[in-house]
Structure 1
């Protein structure tokens, strides 16, 4: 454990991220070390520096590197590294909004769409954050995110995705919302309309009351009701949304249990400065094993060391 971690100049004890600003930050010194490490292909030094700086500090390092060397740090990493470690360190180098835009773009590229990654980002980001991600997406890819998502989705799932991307807060009555959702489940084929309208346009406190009320009234978990009554993409979408309303930390911890590299890296990088401590706590509660220990069973080498540095410590 890095002792400077506990001395961070703008850290408060309420911080829920695992990666915090490095207190003794000297970008020139970091650049000198990184330059030497790139020449020697010294992954250990690169991991030590880039996982121990906040994203804002990494941006300063990247710009300082360019000023001093007249070269691009990302390009240098690509030459010096390969495989999963290269991808992870390049991910850490991206500003957060660019990184989320890239994850959305990757989820929609190639054959088939990664619906769950789309839902993960849409459900765990605020309306304001999603607007900023959309603007960044347009800058990066010269395409409109909403149009891209419309082209990649269809039916009720497309309506759900559009509603989440354009989240708005509408005041509703808790009991009235419970009744609307309950009624939508009564027919042979459930009506997704009320679920999309209500679950994408109320604040989280209101929605938690609605979901708790629905569970009390029906005698079953809402996720189970969705599982039984819906099918296809809309079932997946509503299940993710319900889980994220009830506990985003638990949902993200469950997703990490797959131990698939893109999922683990995506969540750990995205949440490293926000709430990875909460996800770690949910993970150990869910699996009985700490995330720090679980990573050691599934990954290896310098890539593992980088993931452990982001995870930060044993629970």
Structure 2
């Protein structure tokens, strides 16, 4: 497998809001030469050499892949995505086409898929809305509008209902304002004493304060109550409000307390769309932290788990994104 780069490379094709993170597993390929890659890629596509296609595209950064797409079009007068669709299929096609999208496009795509079909995939909606920053969510909303000519907020509201819909809407518009720790603790502690839970109080505090502030609030609330906030919510909202709302609030709390552990637990399902979604979305941002959380929570490295679960070129692609054994 080709070696990843040690330093960041800039590209005119990198999106203005590229979510580059120093804790990503995928880095720019050193000595990147798109004209060389395009020649190899073009031959591989003609011969349906899937292994070579996967090797190249999983060992380049997102900006480099976009550069390759442009060079490929100049070379062959064809769109690279269209050529990939003809050669790849199933989960592998989804993985590679996902890698070809810029981050906000990929997240917009995942949100759209979560809302399509007979049932809504609430877990995926919550994953993205709970773990993304206000700026990232703004980028995703813009990409969603551009890609699908639809309004993300309206689509989310139409797919949900009641207090859960209020939570989803608040997450989409969440803020990172500072708050007063003791005041928020007192408010939540008092609310937990109410016989009739007030969802609005939890939604307001958990979606308008910055994460560092909320971690302190939740830690002190747990100390005061002698149980986890998740357990407090489970008992407090039991049989009173919708299961979706309770699931949403508990997911939000888990993400505030440790989003890397939450993402690692999402991957533990080993469902291909979930694994691909998390790994592609976080590959250049913080997947190294997710890997650490996976090892700590399961006792097995993510790399080993992927080797056991997946086969063939799909395994090859996922291992290249994961990058290394822990």
TM-score above 0.5, yes or no: yes
Q: Distance in 2 between matches of 1:138 and 1:301?
A: 36
Deviates more, 1:94-103 or 1:230-239: 230-239
Kept in 1, the 8 Å contact 2:129–2:171? The answer is yes
Structure 1 stretches of 5 or more lacking a match? none
CA deviations on 1:92-137 (whole Å, 9 max, x unpaired) are 1111111000000011111111111111101111111111110110
Q: Where does residue 16 of structure 2 map in the other structure?
A: none
Q: Where does residue 92 of structure 1 map in the other structure?
A: 99
Alignment pair present for 1:158 and 2:165: yes
Among candidates 187, 190, 214, match of residue 183 of structure 1 = 190
Could you tell me how far 1:56 is from its partner in structure 2? 0.5
Q: Distance in 2 between matches of 1:262 and 1:136?
A: 21
Under a length normalisation based on structure 1, what TM-score does the superposition of the two structures give?
Answer: 0.96
Could you tell me how far 1:8 is from its partner in structure 2? 3.7
Could you tell me how far 1:189 is from its partner in structure 2? 3.5
Among candidates 60, 66, 80, match of residue 67 of structure 2 = 60
Q: Where does residue 15 of structure 2 map in the other structure?
A: none
Q: Distance in 2 between matches of 1:84 and 1:128?
A: 30
Among candidates 234, 242, 248, match of residue 245 of structure 2 = 234
* Secondary structure of the corresponding residue to residue 19 of structure 1: coil
Could you tell me how far 1:67 is from its partner in structure 2? 1.1
Distance of aligned partners of 1:6 and 1:67 in 2 relative to their CA distance in 1, 3 Å threshold: closer
Distance of aligned partners of 1:112 and 1:306 in 2 relative to their CA distance in 1, 3 Å threshold: same
Among candidates 245, 254, 266, match of residue 243 of structure 1 = 254
Alignment pair present for 1:268 and 2:279: yes
Could you tell me how far 1:10 is from its partner in structure 2? 4.1
Q: Where does residue 303 of structure 1 map in the other structure?
A: 314
* Secondary structure of the corresponding residue to residue 156 of structure 1: helix
Q: Where does residue 2 of structure 1 map in the other structure?
A: 2
Count how many residue pairs are aligned between Structure 1 and Structure 2.
312
Could you tell me how far 1:79 is from its partner in structure 2? 0.8
Q: Where does residue 207 of structure 2 map in the other structure?
A: 200
Q: Which runs of 4+ in 1 moved over 6 A?
A: none
Could you tell me how far 1:15 is from its partner in structure 2? 2.0
Kept in 2, the 8 Å contact 1:22–1:53? The answer is yes
Kept in 2, the 8 Å contact 1:8–1:22? The answer is no
Q: Where does residue 313 of structure 1 map in the other structure?
A: 324
Kept in 2, the 8 Å contact 1:88–1:265? The answer is yes
CA deviations on 1:58-104 (whole Å, 9 max, x unpaired) are 00000111111110111111111112111111111111111000000
Kept in 2, the 8 Å contact 1:9–1:23? The answer is no
Q: Where does residue 123 of structure 2 map in the other structure?
A: 116
Distance of aligned partners of 1:70 and 1:6 in 2 relative to their CA distance in 1, 3 Å threshold: closer
Alignment pair present for 1:105 and 2:116: no
CA deviations on 1:182-237 (whole Å, 9 max, x unpaired) are 12222333221111000000111110111011101100001111122225101111
Could you tell me how far 1:254 is from its partner in structure 2? 0.6
Distance of aligned partners of 1:216 and 1:253 in 2 relative to their CA distance in 1, 3 Å threshold: same
What's the C-alpha RMSD, in Å, of the aligned pairs?
A: 1.4
Q: Distance in 2 between matches of 1:186 and 1:213?
A: 17
Q: Distance in 1 between matches of 2:257 and 2:321?
A: 26
Q: Distance in 2 between matches of 1:288 and 1:266?
A: 22
Q: Distance in 1 between matches of 2:149 and 2:9?
A: 36
Deviates more, 1:129-138 or 1:188-197: 188-197
